[in-house]
Amino acid sequence: MTGHSLRIGQYDVTLLLDGLFEAPADVLIHADGDAARQHAIESWGKPTLQVDVNCFLLRGPAGAILIDAGTGTSWGPKYGHARSALRDAGITPGEIRSVVLTHIHGDHALGLLDGDEAYFPHAEVFVPGGDIAFFSDPAAREAMPEARRGGFKAAEQLLRVYGSRVKRIEAGEVLPGIEALPLPGHTPGHTGYLVRGGDKSLLCWGDTLHLGDLQPGDPKIGLTYDLDPELAARTRRAALEDAAREGWIIGGGHITGFGRVQRKPNGYRILPA
């Protein structure tokens, strides 16, 4: 299930499809409240939503890098296909030098783990400092309903298994030609990675939005998975605007393939790149 590939600057970028995630449409929320939420659910028009779960392989002069790592074996046999896609691309786990995470949610981070071992034995793992702080905070964990504590468990496992190979990152260049752009809201430290090329750049924006057909048209539409829905909505609009203005190609944790953002009245749309 190897996805599309692009050449961006010094990197060959390949989208790795990990699986398809399905949820009931009532996970949709809206920053303007209930009536707007009902309208969003009606305009979606289907009882469920189904989204890709993606991560990205970057091959460059300094070896192989992953942006996010998929689910591994943690979400069962419907998921975890990023591992075979990586094999199909000719890369072994031992060849991955760096993994950069957009945030610490299971579908992005658990692929780093092989039980209590590191699935990528030679990788350093770059993780937004804001997410390490939040998902290691006992009070934040306590305040979260049990069903939504996955990020806390993932952070604990990640820090235990990778130890000093976990590198906390803030805004700015993380690896050559790869810049961290904070996109907070979905999680406190949620971060996009801008891969800079001469003629074109790629923003891997994680979970800035999940539904490429719906949310660009009304960036106030969110999903219950956004920890701070209002901040996520502001970040979503700003990221869409930046991508439209700068002409960035975009890739995400849950949108299909690579896209470009175009302005339209009151919102945006994503076209295939």
Interface ranges with Zn ion (CB under 5 A): 105, 207
3-class secondary structure, 52: strand
Under 8 Å between Cβ of 20 and 51: yes
Nearer to Zn ion by Cβ, of 11 and 21: the residue is: 21
Under 8 Å between Cβ of 168 and 132: yes
Q: Least Å distance between CB 202 and Zn ion?
A: 19
CA–CA distances in Å: residue 111 to residues 68, 118, 267: 8, 9, 34
Q: Least Å distance between CB 152 and Zn ion?
A: 13
**Cα 60-62-66 angle, rounded to 5 deg:** 65
Nearer to Zn ion by Cβ, of 49 and 244: the residue is: 49
Nearer to Zn ion by Cβ, of 105 and 236: the residue is: 105
Buried b (16+ CB within 10 A) or exposed e, 73-84: ebbeeebbbbbe
> Cα dihedral sign for 17, 18, 19, 23?
negative
Nearer to Zn ion by Cβ, of 9 and 151: the residue is: 151
3-class secondary structure, 95: helix
Nearer to Zn ion by Cβ, of 9 and 252: the residue is: 252
Q: Least Å distance between CB 92 and Zn ion?
A: 27
Q: Least Å distance between CB 207 and Zn ion?
A: 4
Buried b (16+ CB within 10 A) or exposed e, 42-71: eebeeeebebbbbbbbbbbeeebbbbbbbb
Q: Least Å distance between CB 6 and Zn ion?
A: 23
Q: Least Å distance between CB 226 and Zn ion?
A: 8
Nearer to Zn ion by Cβ, of 59 and 190: the residue is: 190
Closest residue to Zn ion, Cβ-based?
105
